[in-house]
Amino acid sequence: MNKITLITGATSGIGKACALHFAQNRHDLILTGRRTERLQELMTALQKEYPVRVHTLAFDIRDRRTTETAIASLPAQWKNIEILVNNAGLASGLNTVQDGLTDDWEKMIDTNIKGLLYVSRAVLPFMIARGKGHVINIGSIAGKEVYPNGNVYCATKFAVDALTKGMRIDLVQHGIKVTQIAPGAVETEFSVVRFHGDKQRAKGVYQGFQPLRAEDVAEVVYYATTLPRHANINDLVLMPTSQASAAIVHKV
């Protein structure tokens, strides 16, 4: 029997790379995101290439009811989730607080904090019933350091950092591992989303240095799941070699 791994935000970037990496390592996958067509395409491609089963769930993690219903709708055998990768998330806007758009703030808070909580709340009882499991939260260097104009996005990732610690305390009695992987700059659709679809501006973020690739992060996420039962990575910061801190990138 393959292990079952649920990855949120699998339609793009880090989540999609994780889907590929876990499929290559023979995990059956529950893949989520809002873009149904991308989920279908990924499911077809992975099942064609690897000896794995893929189940897709298209829903918006900001919507509590829809999230609960989607996860409750899983057929019984799919509820044996061994690994949950809480990856879905976004930055929206890059402004000072005084110039910030409240719509941006709500998107980030509802997705990065509340969405992560809704999914975790729905999945954790399955892990507790089995007496094992592993939750991997995708945090960020933005959850370790605040940078100019990062304010609300940073606050949501600081919340992920705190929630990771809180989950570990609550779940230790159930033998469930909780890990945070906190990357620096990764070239994905992240900056296109942050700049509201402005691809040129997004491209500029990654010019002059080698950012992380989504695959680099996926490799580390997968590695965290391969340690023996008695060992856990609590927290891992993964940076591009050219990035010394949230705000210091050596560009040439």
CB neighbours of residue 44 within 10 Å: 11
Tokens 């919507």: give the residue: 63
Residue 153 annotated among the catalytic residues of the structure = yes
Candidates 122, 141, 176, 214; binder of ligand 8X3 (CB under 6 A) is 141
The answer to the question of residue 142 lying near ligand 8X3 (CB under 6 A) is yes
Q: Tell how many helices (H) and how many strands (E) occur in the chain.
A: 9, 7
> Per CB under 6 A, does 185 bind ligand 8X3?
yes
Of the pair 111, 151, the CB lying nearest ligand NDP is at: 111
- In terms of DSSP bridges, do strands 4-7 and 28-33 run parallel, antiparallel, or are they unpaired? parallel
CB of 131 to ligand NDP, least distance (A): 28
Say how far apart CA 169 and CA 166 lie, in whole Å: 5
Say which entry of ligand NDP, ligand 8X3, none residue 225 contacts (CB below 5 to 8 A, set by partner kind): none
Partner whose footprint covers residue 90, from ligand NDP, ligand 8X3, none (CB < 5 to 8 Å by kind): ligand NDP
DSSP 31-68: EEES-HHHHHHHHHHHHHHSS--EEEEE--TT-HHHHH
Distance CA 88, CA 57 (A): 13
In this structure, the chain runs to a length of: 252
Q: Does 220 bind ligand 8X3 (CB under 6 A)?
A: no
Given 50, 118, 153, 222, the catalytic residue: 153
CB closer to ligand 8X3 out of 172 and 247: 247
Binding residues (CB under 6 A) for ligand NDP: these are 9-15, 33-35, 60-62, 87-90, 111, 115, 138, 140, 183, 185-186, 188-190, 193, 214
Q: Rounded CA gap, 249 and 201, in Å?
A: 17
Interface contacts to ligand 8X3, rule CB under 6 A: 140-142, 150, 185, 246
Task: Report, as residue numbers or ranges, the catalytic residues.
Answer: 153
